[in-house]
Amino acid sequence: MDNSQTDWKLHGIRIIRANELDTNTPQTPGMTRAAAITHAAAGAQKLWAGTVVVQPDARTGAHHHGELETVLYIIRGRARFRWGEKLEYVEEAGPGDFIYVPPFVPHQEINARRDQPVEAVVVRSGQEPVVVNLDIESPEPQSVGDLFHPPAGR
């Protein structure tokens, strides 16, 4: 596109307002995703960005995002991440921390706090909304407040 003929009003910066986020995107139990930067919303070609919220004392199911690379930036709360074939590796992240998730890595997000949601920004390397939910038992101890994986008999 020749810059001298570009209509920058139509093809320039796009601002997606907080009330315009799209929750019609693949979800993982225990986590709410909302899309912000997509091809439809902003004209993005190679990136997808949005928000994720994990409720207090909750955890997602195990999943991966196919060949996509993912970056998370923690805004609020304390997130625990498990990853690996049996979710055997674990680390925590807090406000201001960045997390990189390589392609095809089985992982799980856990809210490490009982009193506050984890809020994060997520950016992926492609437009396809790839979420592959996996049947991997989590080694994470179940808690009384875990609404997504209640203890047996409850």
For 134-144, write each residue's pLDDT tens digit.
999 888 876 53
What pLDDT is stored for residue 57 in this prediction? 84
Place of tokens 């996996």: 134
Mean pLDDT of the 2-25 span = 80
What pLDDT is stored for residue 20 in this prediction? 87
CATH architecture of 16-133: Sandwich (2.60)
Neighbouring CB atoms inside 10 A of 153's CB total 4
Q: pTM to 2 decimals?
A: 0.80
- In the chain, which residue ranges form alpha helices assigned H by DSSP? 8-11, 39-42
User: In whole angstroms, what is the distance from residue 27 CA to residue 77 CA?
Assistant: 20
For 105-128, the pLDDT digits (tens) are 999 999 999 999 999 999 999 988
What pLDDT is stored for residue 146 in this prediction? 39
What pLDDT is stored for residue 4 in this prediction? 65
Mean pLDDT of the 28-43 span = 84
